[in-house]
Amino acid sequence: MHNGTTITQFIIEEQRHIAGATGDFTSLLNDVVTACKVLSNMVNHGALVGVLGSAGTENVQGETQKKLDVLSNEVFIQSNEWAGHLAAMASEEMDEIYPIPAKYPRGKYLLTFDPLDGSSNIDVNVSVGTIFSILRVSGGVEEPTERDFLQAGVQQVAAGYALYGPSTMMVLTTGNGVNGFTLDQNIGEFILTHPNMTIPADTREFAINVSNMRFWEEPVKRYVQECLDGEEGPRGEDFNMRWIASMVAEVHRILTRGGVFMYPFDSKMQAKGQGGKLRLLYEANPMSMIVEQAGGGAITGRERILDVQPESLHQRVPVILGSKNEVERILGYHEQA
């Protein structure tokens, strides 16, 4: 049985070194952690508590919502709206921003989240996760607007994800490295199990949905083809491939043993007016902050994701992230094209 550092203790000790810290941020992170524990419990119980299947609704992006998409969004709101640390929230599952209701005090932070990423995996009992990002309010806290959320990823104060896999984990960065915690179900606490996670700079493993190959641009086709050509190709080495269709699980694997994850620019998405599949504010930015903090790289193909200036709440971007040397190689292929 573990008698290690709990996530609360870890955050308090980390924040102690920051001049002017009021405890607001620590307390906000605690509420996020609580929400993830509730979701972990729901995901674990699955069909036993009747949460699987479709909710019969669509989100703002026209995707069918699962019951758990809707429920997990509600859990996140309820856990985080009352304490007075936030001015507003925004979620992949809500059309508009959610200003904190007038009955509660408003605070100086903004929370964005994808409450249940990879939810197409839910009914088949494959890992899913929650992704979140914390920003500071740029305008006043009284009347937060969508514009307050349109901050480049470099402005994030913290980012993290919870992975609901064989064990539930929380991986967190506050801009000072990346740390991983495992939920001890017996005591209901996340315990520090993966201090200072780092991504190996080199890898021989890539992750991409190859069924979209005909929609990709030349540089990504070239990179993947060279991986597939293996020892006989220009790379002179064999590569391995994985595709879980659950970004949290994919990023977690990369944090654990390296690799590259790609949901690149795609002409099918472009025809719908979007450059990629994944959302800048709920998926690409938080994951890019985590990956960069762990020593990896994260680009759209042509630029660093964290430098992209968001133009709308639900904006989508191409995502290529992971082991630094491979990401740089892919950037180079785009520059040569």
Annotated binding site for Mg(2+): 92, 114, 116-117, 283
Nearer to ligand AHM, 109 or 261 (CB): 261
3-state secondary structure of 12: helix
User: In the bound complex, which residue of the shown chain has the CB atom lying closest to ligand AHM?
Assistant: 247
Nearer to ligand AHM, 104 or 243 (CB): 243
> How many whole angstroms separate alpha carbon 9 and alpha carbon 5?
6
**Of 253-282, which residues contact ligand AHM (CB under 6 A)?**
263
Phi and psi (nearest 5°) for 126?
Answer: -110, 155
Q: Which stretch binds Mg ion (CB under 5 A): 117-125, 144-152, 202-210, 267-275?
A: 117-125
Size of the site for ligand AHM (CB under 6 A): 12
How is the beta sheet containing 297-299 ordered, strand by strand?
240-241, 205-207, 260-263, 319-322, 297-299
Nearer to ligand AHM, 167 or 209 (CB): 209
Cα diameter, the chain = 66
Q: Which does 246 bind (CB under 5 to 8 A by kind): Mg ion, ligand AHM, none?
A: ligand AHM
Cite the DSSP H helix spans in 46-144: 67-80
For residue 31, state whether it binds Mg ion (rule: CB under 5 A). no
Residues 6+ apart with CB under 8 A from 117: 92, 128, 129, 130, 131, 161, 246, 247, 248, 282, 283
- Using CB under 5 A, pick the residue from 117, 189, 217, 326 that binds Mg ion: 117
Q: Which stretch binds ligand AHM (CB under 6 A): 132-140, 193-201, 239-247, 300-308?
A: 239-247
Sign of the Cα pseudo-torsion (219, 330, 241, 270, in order): negative
For residue 114, state whether it binds ligand AHM (rule: CB under 6 A). yes
Nearer to Mg ion, 81 or 114 (CB): 114
Q: Which does 209 bind (CB under 5 to 8 A by kind): ligand AHM, Mg ion, none?
A: ligand AHM
For residue 169, state whether it binds ligand AHM (rule: CB under 6 A). no
Q: Least distance in Å: CB of 60 to ligand AHM?
A: 12
> In the beta sheet, which residues pair with residue 86?
109
For residue 245, state whether it binds ligand AHM (rule: CB under 6 A). yes
Binding-site positions for substrate: 117-120, 209, 277
For residue 118, state whether it binds ligand AHM (rule: CB under 6 A). yes
Place of tokens 């809707």: 70
Q: Which stretch binds Mg ion (CB under 5 A): 112-120, 177-185, 292-300, 315-323?
A: 112-120
For residue 284, state whether it binds ligand AHM (rule: CB under 6 A). no
Q: Least distance in Å: CB of 220 to ligand AHM?
A: 15
- Using CB under 5 A, pick the residue from 14, 114, 148, 184 that binds Mg ion: 114
User: Which of 163, 118, 184, 110 is CA-nearest to residue 141?
Assistant: 110
Q: Which does 245 bind (CB under 5 to 8 A by kind): Mg ion, ligand AHM, none?
A: ligand AHM
> How many whole angstroms separate alpha carbon 32 and alpha carbon 19?
23
Q: Which stretch binds ligand AHM (CB under 6 A): 19-27, 112-120, 145-153, 234-242?
A: 112-120
> How many whole angstroms separate alpha carbon 42 and alpha carbon 54?
15
**What's at 208, amino acid-wise?**
I
Nearer to ligand AHM, 35 or 208 (CB): 208
DSSP-derived secondary structure for 25-58? HHHHHHHHHHHHHHHHHHHHHGGGGT--SEEEEE
Q: Which does 79 bind (CB under 5 to 8 A by kind): ligand AHM, Mg ion, none?
A: none
Strands 168-173 and 179-184: antiparallel
Query: Is-contact 224 208, C-beta < 8 A?
Result: yes
Sign of the Cα pseudo-torsion (80, 81, 82, 88, in order): positive
Structure token pair of residue 246: 């659950």
Chain residues in the site for ligand AHM (CB under 6 A) = 63, 92, 114, 117-120, 209, 245-247, 263
